C-alpha cells in the first residue's frame, strides 16, 4: 500500500517513535509537582518546548501545548478576539482557511461578532488588496491567514499580509499546519497554530504561540497549566516525541522538500497528459512541495478514491476534514474550480519514485472504468 495522504497526517517519524518509547518511562509523572520523577518530566517538557519554539521562530515562553491543531486554532482565534474586545469585534479570514478557523468564526458570530471573508484567485492565493482593505476597516480585532492550503498546497503571501496587518495595528493568526517543519515560518505573525501529527509527531499534540504584547484571554475556564492558556494535564511523552520529529524533519526539509517537489511536478505534468478532461488545481510555483490536487470531469471523487484504494493507494478527495459530510469543498468552491472528481495526492517523507510511477500507470485505467460505468466515453 502506498500512502499518499500526508496532508491529513504524516506517518510517525522513526525518531519520534524512539523518543516516545523513552519518554514513556522517563516522563510519565506530573510536571507540576516537586518530587524527582516530576522534575524529570518538567525538564523534558521544557526542553521540548524550547526545541519546538526554536524551529517555529518564537520564544519558549510564548508557546503552549494543546490537545490538537484544531484546539490551537480555536483557542488562538477566540482568545485573541476576547482579548481585543475593546478594539472591535470584526474577524477577517480568507475564504480557503481550514474548517477550524471557519468554525471558530461561527462561534464568534453567534456571540454577536462579525466575520469578513476575503476571496482568493483561481490558484487559491488570497486577494492581498482586498485583505488589506478588510484589516484596515474600523473595528477589526483579528485577521487569519494560513501559511499554505491543506487541500491544494497553495502557499499564501503571509509576510505581505503581516505587513498589512502591522500597518493597521491588527494581529495576524497564521495556521502553519501544512508548513511547520517543512519550511521557515514567514515573519510578522502575532499568533501561530500547528499540529504535531502533520510533521511526523504523534497525534494529540498541537502548538499555540502567542507573541509577547499580543492581547489574548482564554475563552476556557482558567487552569494553572501551560501558562494559563490551555487546561489539562500535559502529555509529556507525546510532546517529547513531537519535538524529536520536528527537529528531524526540519533538518532534512531542504533536501527532502526538493525531492518531493520533483515528484509532485511529475504528477502535475503527467496526469493531464495521461487522463482526458483533467484540471490540475492550485498554484504551480508558490506551493508546498508535497501536495498536488486535480479534478477529473465526469468522475465522482469517492468512486475514484475507492478504485485507487483497491489498486493500493491511499489518497484523499476534497478536504480531509470535511470529506465525510459529502458537501463540496469550500476551498475548491472559493477558487471557482471543478469540485467533483477531486483527488488530493500528498506525499509523505520517503515516498519513492517507483510508487509515483505506479500511481501514474494505475490512474488512467481507474478513471476510464468509472467513466465507462457512468456511460461516459471520451
Active site residue 296: no
pTM over 0.75: yes
Q: Which of 58, 144, 165, 321 is catalytic?
A: 321
d(CA 311, CA 57): 42
The C-alpha cell that represents 28 in the structure block: 510519565
Tell me what pLDDT residue 207 has: 98
Task: Give per-residue burial for 65-104: e unless 16+ CB within 10 Å, then b.
Answer: bbbbbbbbbbbbbbbbbbbbeebbbbbbbbbbbbbbbbbb
3-state secondary structure of 196: helix
- Has residue 303 got a pLDDT over 50? yes
The domain at 253-373 falls in which architecture? Answer: Alpha-Beta Complex (3.90)
3-state secondary structure of 3: strand
In CATH terms, is domain 14-248 a member of 2.60.40.1890?
Answer: no
- Has residue 167 got a pLDDT over 60? yes
Tell me what pLDDT residue 55 has: 97
Q: What is the mean pLDDT of the chain?
A: 95
Contact between 144 and 99 (Cβ < 8 Å): no
Q: Where are the alpha helices (DSSP H) in 169-319?
A: 236-274, 301-310
What average pLDDT score do residues 338-363 get?
Answer: 95
Contact between 111 and 61 (Cβ < 8 Å): no
What average pLDDT score do residues 107-129 get?
Answer: 98
Q: What are the extents of the domains in the chain? A: 14-248, 253-373
The C-alpha cell that represents 48 in the structure block: 521540548
Cell numbers 477566540 label which residue?
A: 78
The C-alpha cell that represents 286 in the structure block: 508558490
Amino acid at each position: 500500500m502506498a500512502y499518499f495522504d500526508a496532508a491529513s497526517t504524516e506517518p510517525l517519524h522513526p525518531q519520534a517513535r524512539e523518543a516516545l518509547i523513552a519518554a514513556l518511562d522517563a516522563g510519565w509523572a506530573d510536571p507540576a509537582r516537586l518530587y524527582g520523577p516530576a522534575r524529570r518530566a518538567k525538564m523534558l517538557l521544557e526542553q521540548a518546548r524550547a526545541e519546538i519554539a526554536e524551529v517555529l521562530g518564537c520564544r519558549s515562553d510564548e508557546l503552549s501545548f494543546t490537545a490538537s491543531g484544531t484546539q490551537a486554532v480555536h483557542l488562538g482565534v477566540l482568545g485573541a478576539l476576547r482579548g481585543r474586545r475593546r478594539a472591535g469585534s470584526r474577524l477577517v479570514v480568507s475564504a480557503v482557511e481550514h474548517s477550524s478557523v471557519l468554525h471558530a468564526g461561527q462561534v464568534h458570530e453567534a456571540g454577536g461578532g462579525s466575520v469578513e471573508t476575503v476571496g482568493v484567485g483561481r490558484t487559491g492565493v488570497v486577494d492581498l488588496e482586498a485583505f488589506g482593505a478588510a484589516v484596515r476597516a474600523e473595528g477589526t480585532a483579528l485577521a487569519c491567514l494560513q501559511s499554505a492550503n491543506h487541500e491544494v498546497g497553495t502557499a499564501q503571501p503571509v509576510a505581505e499580509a503581516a505587513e498589512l496587518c502591522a500597518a493597521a495595528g491588527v494581529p495576524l493568526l497564521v495556521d502553519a499546519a501544512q508548513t511547520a517543519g517543512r519550511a521557515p515560518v514567514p515573519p510578522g505573525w502575532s499568533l501561530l497554530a500547528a499540529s504535531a501529527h502533520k510533521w511526523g509527531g504523534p497525534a494529540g499534540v498541537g502548538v499555540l504561540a502567542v507573541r509577547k504584547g499580543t492581547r489574548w484571554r482564554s475563552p476556557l475556564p482558567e487552569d494553572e497549566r501551560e501558562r494559563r492558556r490551555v487546561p489539562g494535564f500535559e502529555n509529556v511523552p507525546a510532546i517529547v516525541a513531537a519535538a524529536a520529529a520536528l527537529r528531524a524533519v526540519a533538518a532534512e526539509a531542504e533536501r527532502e522538500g526538493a525531492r518531493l517537489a520533483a515528484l509532485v511536478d511529475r504528477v502535475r505534468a503527467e496526469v493531464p497528459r495521461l487522463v482526458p478532461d483533467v484540471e490540475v488545481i492550485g498554484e504551480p510555483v508558490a506551493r508546498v512541495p508535497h501536495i498536488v490536487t486535480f479534478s477529473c470531469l465526469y468522475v465522482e471523487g469517492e468512486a475514484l478514491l475507492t478504485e485507487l484504494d483497491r489498486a493500493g493507494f491511499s489518497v484523499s478527495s476534497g478536504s480531509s476534514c470535511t470529506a465525510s459530510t459529502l458537501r463540496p469543498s469550500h476551498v475548491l468552491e472559493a477558487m471557482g474550480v471543478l469540485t467533483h472528481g477531486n483527488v488530493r495526492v500528498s506525499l509523505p517523507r520517503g515516498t519513492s519514485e517507483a510508487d509515483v510511477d505506479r500511481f501514474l500507470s494505475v490512474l488512467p485505467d481507474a478513471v476510464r472504468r468509472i467513466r465507462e460505468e457512468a456511460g461516459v466515453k471520451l
